[in-house]
Structure 1
Amino acid sequence: MKVFILGATGFLGLPAAEAFVRGGHIVYGSTRSQKSAEEVLAPNEIIPVVTDPYSEEGRKKWGDIAAQCDVVIDALSANGAKPAIDIFHNFLKHLDRPRGSPKPTYIYTSGLWINSRGYGGLGKWTDERQPTSTYNEAVQWRPLIEVPVLESEKVHGIVIRGAVVYGRDGSAFASYIFDEALKASKTDEKIFETVYSHETRIASIHTDDMADLYLRVAERGPILRGQVFMASNQSTERLTDILDAVVRVSGCKGYKAKAPKGAMQEAWVSSTLIKPSLGDALTGWRPKKMSLVDGMDIYWSSYLANKKLRVP
């Protein structure tokens, strides 16, 4: 297949692009940076497309290439529906295939917080077969892009809702926890502040396991159209267990809570109780990486190494 990945140097996009390359596919990847194109994408056998995906010139450049591909994956970070909808509509605008031709597969990357129902009993649990919830205000825009993708007649539309991703440079775990712990480890007090709740349970997934789900779903696109897949480990982890593991590996003595500010931080401390099964049932996908708590020694070392690599 020919595969086009928007956001191919990102936390999700790069591992996904590498997975498709290993799978024997022709992979194009968008990046805004010529340096990233030369130092990250090209050396890994990913064909760089250097462009701003949202500019008028950029939309035409990547749209022309993507229209010739069999799979398009939106792995761009988005904070609202409009940018993601614009990306999808730009692809449809450039898509011009003869009648009767195979339809391309379009995968939109969403998030699990749209399924969160909070902490509690069986009524709070969810999976791919459950509808979205209104529990987290910060992500109520997600269905505005998910629904058009899933219902489109022009593509095999699929949505992958990722849990909180870990591995490599840490992603959200870095900004909420690792960065604060690293700073605190260099102080006399060695106590870091972070947003947490004692009842919060985190659904998480390693970036490489999510990349494997992208690959499996994309290769089966025509028979999976209209489906939503949840990329998550089989078991959730208590946020305080994650914090305790960070204390152990960072050299800190402890942590203290600070109140969440705004809808995004409220979503961070909202529990997502989930046991996904559709990826396994339809593609044989199962996460292989150690959980964040169990593998914290590895993931903390990786975070530190990646942080050094980003220093000019």
Structure 2
Amino acid sequence: MKVLVTGATGYAGFYAAIALRMSGHHVYGLTRDDSKPRAQELQKHEVELAISDVSKPDSYRQFIEDSDAIVHAMMDFENPQNTDLTLFDTLQSVAESSNRNRCFVYTTGCSIYGKRPERVMDETTPPNPNHKLAFRMELEQKLFAMPIPNCQKVVLRPGFMYGLDGKSSITGMWFQMGEQGKAIYRGDKDKGWSWVHVRDLAEAYVRVVESSKAIDGEVFCIAEEQRPKCIEIMRACLKAADYNGEIEFGEPQEDDVTSVWFDQNEFITSQKARRLLGWVPQHIGVIDEIETYYSAWKASQ
């Protein structure tokens, strides 16, 4: 198949593009800047660069026309709602003038729920309407409601990503704190999140794209079943970076979206993905091999 991956130089998109190519697909990696190191790495992994801007449909329409699957693996932080809606409209327009069967994979995440009374959430859990990212679940529903001909629409909600270069990961942020010798934890000390190794997430994209099952309109949470507290993972990251000092605790700050958007439990279960996609994470957990992940992060700096 021909597969277009948006955000191909981002954390999720980069490894998804490589995994799809390793599975034998012709992959277009959408990026605005082909001079980025990750763009050059994509080319080394036989991913064809699609130089375009996801906020400008005329720049990528031709790649949608030429693709059997589109993996949307990014969020436009400047204008997330309009950018995604424009992408949906462009896909619909292309599909209405073509008989080609397509699969569209839309990525949101475990952070769209916000504060909920449930300890563990799944695909049926509604969001807290006051949460800053609740609009992303609304976008999921708008996508499913759109009559896009010959198109299977699927949503993935990953946990927090870790592993490999980890440049855009929260574990990477904590490794950096350890190296810089100043550690600050903001928000609820008892909160915890679900996690997924970025390579396991990439495998989930491959399984959806290649699925022979009728999974149109399905949502899949993608995460390991371990549920550690954030402070436990932070301490492990700091220890791996040889930081043995104190951790400063503070309140969330508006200019620190991590401390504001994610200041609650975000535990999800991937039992549905295991059942319908046969997806099983191959990595044993973020804390268990934290020294390995620190070494990989450090080597990539």
- Structure 2 residue aligned with 1:306: 300
Secondary structure at the residue paired with 1:202? coil
Deviation at 1:64, TM superposition (A): 1.2
The one-letter code sitting in structure 2 at the alignment partner of 1:12 is: A
- Contact 1:32/1:50 (CA < 8 Å) preserved in 2? yes
Counterpart-to-counterpart distance in 1, 2:130 and 2:179: 29
Counterpart-to-counterpart distance in 2, 1:221 and 1:110: 23
Secondary structure at the residue paired with 2:11? coil
Counterpart-to-counterpart distance in 1, 2:165 and 2:268: 25
- Contact 2:178/2:239 (CA < 8 Å) preserved in 1? no
Match of 1:159 among 155, 175, 200: 155
Q: TM-score, normalised by structure 1?
A: 0.86
- Contact 2:165/2:300 (CA < 8 Å) preserved in 1? yes
Counterpart-to-counterpart distance in 1, 2:87 and 2:95: 13
- Structure 1 residue aligned with 2:219: 228
Counterpart-to-counterpart distance in 2, 1:28 and 1:173: 27
Task: Indicate whether 1:286 and 2:277 are aligned.
Answer: no
- Structure 2 residue aligned with 1:124: 119
Which 4+ stretches in 1 moved above 6 angstroms? none
* Larger helix proportion of the pair: 1
The one-letter code sitting in structure 2 at the alignment partner of 1:273 is: F
The one-letter code sitting in structure 2 at the alignment partner of 1:126 is: M
Secondary structure at the residue paired with 2:35? helix
Q: Relative to 1, partners in 2 of residues 1:144 and 1:81: Cα closer, same or farther, differing over 3 Å?
A: farther
Give runs of aligned pairs for residues 65-104 of structure 1, distance below 5 A.
65-79=63-77, 80-98=80-98, 101-104=99-102
1:98-157 Cα shifts (integer Å, max 9, x gaps)? 5xx353111111011123445x7xx432112x2322176220210232112223331211
- Structure 2 residue aligned with 1:54: 55
Number of residue pairs matched by the alignment:
292
Counterpart-to-counterpart distance in 1, 2:174 and 2:52: 32
- Structure 1 residue aligned with 2:291: 297
Match of 1:64 among 58, 62, 69: 62
After TM superposition, the structure 1 stretch with the greater mean CA deviation from structure 2, 101-110 or 7-16, is 101-110
After TM superposition, the structure 1 stretch with the greater mean CA deviation from structure 2, 260-269 or 219-228, is 260-269
- Structure 1 residue aligned with 2:13: 13
1:212-257 Cα shifts (integer Å, max 9, x gaps)? 0011011127611100011111121111211221232111123121
Match of 1:257 among 249, 268, 271: 249
Stretches of structure 1 that go unaligned for 5 or more consecutive residues are 185-190, 308-312
The one-letter code sitting in structure 2 at the alignment partner of 1:26 is: H
Counterpart-to-counterpart distance in 2, 1:300 and 1:19: 22
The one-letter code sitting in structure 1 at the alignment partner of 2:95 is: L
The one-letter code sitting in structure 2 at the alignment partner of 1:70 is: D
RMSD between superposed Cα atoms in Å: 2.1
After TM superposition, the structure 1 stretch with the greater mean CA deviation from structure 2, 20-29 or 146-155, is 146-155
Counterpart-to-counterpart distance in 2, 1:163 and 1:38: 25
Q: Relative to 1, partners in 2 of residues 1:6 and 1:85: Cα closer, same or farther, differing over 3 Å?
A: same
Q: Relative to 1, partners in 2 of residues 1:224 and 1:93: Cα closer, same or farther, differing over 3 Å?
A: same
Counterpart-to-counterpart distance in 2, 1:11 and 1:19: 13
Identity across aligned pairs (percent)?
Answer: 22
The one-letter code sitting in structure 1 at the alignment partner of 2:70 is: V
- Contact 2:200/2:281 (CA < 8 Å) preserved in 1? yes
Give runs of aligned pairs for residues 240-251 of structure 1, distance below 5 A.
240-251=231-242
Q: TM-score, normalised by structure 2?
A: 0.89
- Contact 1:177/1:194 (CA < 8 Å) preserved in 2? no
Secondary structure at the residue paired with 1:34? coil
Stretches of structure 2 that go unaligned for 5 or more consecutive residues are none
Secondary structure at the residue paired with 2:107? strand
